[in-house]
Amino acid sequence: MTEPVNIDLSAVPKTLLLPLLGRAHFSQKIYSPIHDKKALELITTLNYDFENLLNVANVKTSALFWMARAYHFDEAIKAHLKKHPKAVIVNLGCGLDTSFNRVDNGHLTWVNVDLPEVIKLRERLLPPTAREIAIQASVLDYSWMDEVKNLGSDLFFFAGGLFMYFTNEQIKALFIQLAECFPGSPLIFDNISPKGLNSANKMLQKSGMTDALLQWSVTDAKIIEQWSPKIKVLAQHAYFTGIKNKYPFPWRYKLLMYLLDLSHKSGMIYLSFD
């Protein structure tokens, strides 16, 4: 029997457990839009009390967001790969994200960017294939961009549950730098409203992750366009757009998703660096 893998993480890196749990939780439901076998494997491999974490207040509700986010990322990446099958997909703040296992077309190049302690854990649990590249760096350490630029010109960036941990000034500087370095590339990420930010921070506190509270939120993505003439907002929509009516969720979940979309007024943001 394989020994469980201990988790030696703290602060923001430790929060990677939350979306992993969310994907695994809904992957067990027949009505879910995602079925992430690798996430289910990981929660049985890690030495962590996920059952207790799932019962923390608001975690089950937040799991809906993590499920939806994964779905939207998958759809966006697959759409991009239809036009650019050999694209370089860059996962910023990758954590233990398992998108590669769900969308790999056999031709893409995949880049995971995260802190050294996260990449070390990731490579132990998810040994990279020949087409996966790991970069050990904070996304705020712009040196990683030089390495990515050398991989090609057809780049697609996405970031799940990352930007809200930084300040507005940090995000502004990062986006301006991305626009300068990667003209023509899209970036897709999830955003949280001020109301959602407060709710998420309460959930993090109850989960014992008090050293990883969220800071950044934006209600209207058009504000981001003001940072640089090279940043163009392509779309912004609520988390459960295209999900709540498309899949046969139980009525209580459908109602909850409608209410969350109405009250949080935030979700997915699609940018292009023109």
Residue range 174-199, pLDDT digits in tens: 999 999 999 999 999 999 888 888 88
Tokens of residue 72, six digits: 């939207």
Residue in this structure with the two tokens 């974490």, named with its chain if needed? 53
Q: What are the tens digits of pLDDT across the range 202-214?
A: 888 887 877 778 8
Residue 76, pLDDT above cutoff 60 = yes
**For residues 39-61, b (16+ Cβ closer than 10 Å) or e, as one string?**
bbebbeebebebeebeebeebee
Distance CA 33, CA 68 (A): 8
Residue 36, pLDDT above cutoff 90 = yes
Torsion angle of alpha carbons 75, 80, 84, 88, nearest 10°? -90
Q: What are the tens digits of pLDDT across the range 130-151?
A: 999 999 999 999 999 999 999 9
Query: Domains plus CATH for the chain?
Result: 11-273 (3.40.50.150)
Distance CA 92, CA 99 (A): 12
Residue 31, pLDDT above cutoff 90 = yes
Note whether 49 and 158 are within 8 A (CB).
no
- Per the prediction, the chain carries an average pLDDT of 92
Q: What are the tens digits of pLDDT across the range 95-125?
A: 999 999 999 999 999 999 999 999 999 999 9
Helix (H, G, I), strand (E, B) or coil at 92: strand
Residue 58, pLDDT above cutoff 80 = no
Pairing of strands 267-273, 231-238: antiparallel
What does pTM read for this prediction? Answer: 0.94
Q: How much is the pLDDT for 50? A: 87
DSSP 183: T
Q: How much is the pLDDT for 265? A: 65
pLDDT confidence band for 1 (50 / 70 / 90):
very low
